[in-house]
Structure 1
């Protein structure tokens, strides 16, 4: 897209320019119609995307606009302490290096996402970062990993999280085997979640059939995975 600096600055303005009248369910809006709403057209990031394209928006720009709106709406709807929000805004206004790093990397990564659900998760993670629940390193690590996982992987991770939360708080986190216990085929998701550090493998398990053996999915969610669930997947942030 043209004028990356303007795009970055307009997105930053959009974060603090909450549109309380934006009541449409963006997840149900098809990409071709995403810019038909008059309120949407006035959001700074959308105006910049439109201005950067002289011959009409292509599918890529429309998709990026919709992902940006999904992220912004989630960010606006999150419970962010006013003190923390003002602190974040002040730092963005006073520290150009920080602004360039955070906003530019965020937009670059957002542009890579294919699934719109990831934009919503990014919005939750950003709100958690602003709320000082995730530091800068954790925030970027999560949104980068987000690009490398499938949406179905988040559902599997949430299964491990929910099951783990059923255990007594004073017990150790247990290894869980959903394939054996409930007949759910999740081997591929488990392998990806292990690779990216969300699940731990039960090294004590004896494999008799390689990766196809259901024993190999016996895993437990670790603190890295729990934190991602609580600040990126749960309904309330």
Structure 2
């Protein structure tokens, strides 16, 4: 086994232990910890998963690793701050006894967290993962939602929330807080490409009439929206 493989195994093991019994202080909002003090702050520097991330640095910790550390802490805080059901006990037991399952789960989540651009998306990822544990959707659906998450924008969530209260509505009537109308249109197209929003009356109309198209939230859109606002 190579040095990189040993390091990868170390961080996977540390992360899986944090999923089972966290060493985090859940009263702390880790997103508020300054990036340049993530490791110097005694609150975080002694957390085992943080030590494992630091061990990956050869010539010192990088900005990317500091950001990754914050995202991991935010994910774990959200994950353990929720009211967990009996499904969590079953998940934890499988994580302990099934090594193949453990590494599939931890590696996938670590890779996703590394790719996410913000701590807030890491919090949303934790909510999506909990939805899977609670058997609201299967592993493949969780992975798909995770792929969509990093390119979703706050306006997308606002639009899903608005459409969840309507059977459908013309795009120009969607009432969300001050966004440029073309950002609104772009968001609808993005959500449509994910399968979270559908369109009515898709007969050909001129580009100038795009805002008169009717949008509605799909069943898949309802599922992801309910998961991330839970």
Q: TM (normalized to structure 1)? A: 0.84
Q: Which moved more, 1:59-68 or 1:92-101?
A: 92-101
What is aligned with 2:116? 113
Task: Report the CA distance between 1:62 and its aligned residue.
Answer: 0.5
Task: Report the CA distance between 1:42 and its aligned residue.
Answer: 2.8
Task: Report the CA distance between 1:220 and its aligned residue.
Answer: 0.5
Cα contact 1:22–1:39 (8 A) shared by 2: no
What is aligned with 2:92? 89
Secondary structure of 1:188's counterpart equals helix
Secondary structure of 1:36's counterpart equals coil
What is aligned with 1:208? 205
The gaps in structure 2 that reach 5 residues or longer are none
Q: 2:47 aligns with which of 38, 43, 50?
A: 43
CA separation of 1:69 and 1:55: change in aligned 2, threshold 3 A? same
Report the RMSD for the aligned CA atoms in angstroms. 2.3
Q: What CA distance in whole angstroms lies between the structure 2 residues aligned with 1:53 and 1:88?
A: 31
Cα contact 1:22–1:40 (8 A) shared by 2: no
1:33-88: per-residue Cα shift (whole Å, max 9, x none)? 2233323223222110112214321110011001101110110111111x322211
Secondary structure of 2:140's counterpart equals helix
Task: State yes or no: 1:74 paired with 2:78.
Answer: yes
Q: What CA distance in whole angstroms lies between the structure 1 residues aligned with 2:125 and 2:174?
A: 32
Secondary structure of 1:220's counterpart equals strand
Secondary structure of 2:137's counterpart equals coil
What is aligned with 1:226? 222
Task: Report the CA distance between 1:12 and its aligned residue.
Answer: 0.7
User: What is the number of equivalent residue pairs in this alignment?
Assistant: 221
CA separation of 1:44 and 1:152: change in aligned 2, threshold 3 A? farther
Task: State yes or no: 1:197 paired with 2:190.
Answer: no
Q: What CA distance in whole angstroms lies between the structure 1 residues aligned with 2:58 and 2:120?
A: 29
1:120-158: per-residue Cα shift (whole Å, max 9, x none)? 111111122222223212211111121232333223222
Task: Report the CA distance between 1:5 and its aligned residue.
Answer: 1.3
What is aligned with 1:170? none
Within 5 Å, give how 1:1-237 maps onto structure 2: 2=4, 3-19=7-23, 21-81=25-85, 83-161=86-164, 163-164=165-166, 174-180=167-173, 182=175, 185=181, 186-202=184-200, 204-210=201-207, 213-216=210-213, 218-232=214-228, 234=229, 236=230
Task: Report the CA distance between 1:91 and its aligned residue.
Answer: 1.1
Q: What CA distance in whole angstroms lies between the structure 2 residues aligned with 1:74 and 1:111?
A: 17
Cα contact 2:171–2:215 (8 A) shared by 1: no
Secondary structure of 1:69's counterpart equals helix
